[in-house]
Structure 1
Amino acid sequence: MAGDIELIRTPLAAAPGGHYSQAVLHQGTLHVSGQLPVRADGSHSVEEPFEAQAAIALDNLAAILEAAGCTSDDLLKVTIYIAGIQYWPAFDRIYAGYLGEHRPARAVVPVPQLHHGYLIEIEAQARSGR
């Protein structure tokens, strides 16, 4: 059964902090685990402004996509958890800068808090040619 499941791992994104993979590729779909704004070297950014945290989380997402042979143009669905709806406009602006003309399905979910006190977490699904 597990033969058709590929676990994706890259040192260019934050290592998993628990019992999960950065991403899992199965039947042409890449499932990217929630990415907090933890840098690839493991350093935390919880004290940094929302914009910096969003950029780090998106950088993690991009690195994982690349490790799986994908780009942001392959994104199908992105779910973003933000600790406060007031960050929605800033996130939308930063996100548009990362994705350009590509507009995957998306949900932005305001939540009361995230792990370690972070302001953002991003998970995604993407298509893969593998």
Structure 2
Amino acid sequence: MTSFNAQIIQEFRGNGGHVETAGFGDKLVLLRTIGARTGEERVTPTMALRDEDSWLVYASKAGAPDNPAWYYNLVENPDITIETPQGDVEVTASELHGDERDAAWDQVVAVASGFADYQVKAGDRVIPVFRLTPR
């Protein structure tokens, strides 16, 4: 885990889910995924937007040409726990496609315009979006 992620996780847990670093505020969740190759639990902070009773998360990796490791973890093991500002929630992740994915992408760009830059940097990679639905 990078020191930046460790700092964000510590701040998230120490402030009831509120993270001032990088201006995240209350728009983060901690994904507790199971490693697709290792089977070990991984904790990753990620931008999340509420969408009715679910959360939308974006596998941007800051516009890298490849998907973040947690993307593969969710594909392989979609039943996970997330830490939210309101507490832990057991969810099932489903990847969005087509118009549903595009609408969810537009939501994050409206809130955090830097995500539009991530898509440009990512080139041909369409940044995946997942819906996390409580189980």
- The TM tier, using the shorter chain, reads 0.3 to 0.5
- Name the TM-score, length of structure 1 as normaliser: 0.34
Q: Whose strand proportion is higher, 1 or 2?
A: 2
- Name the TM-score, length of structure 2 as normaliser: 0.33
The structure with higher relative contact order (CA 8 Å, sep 6+) is: 1
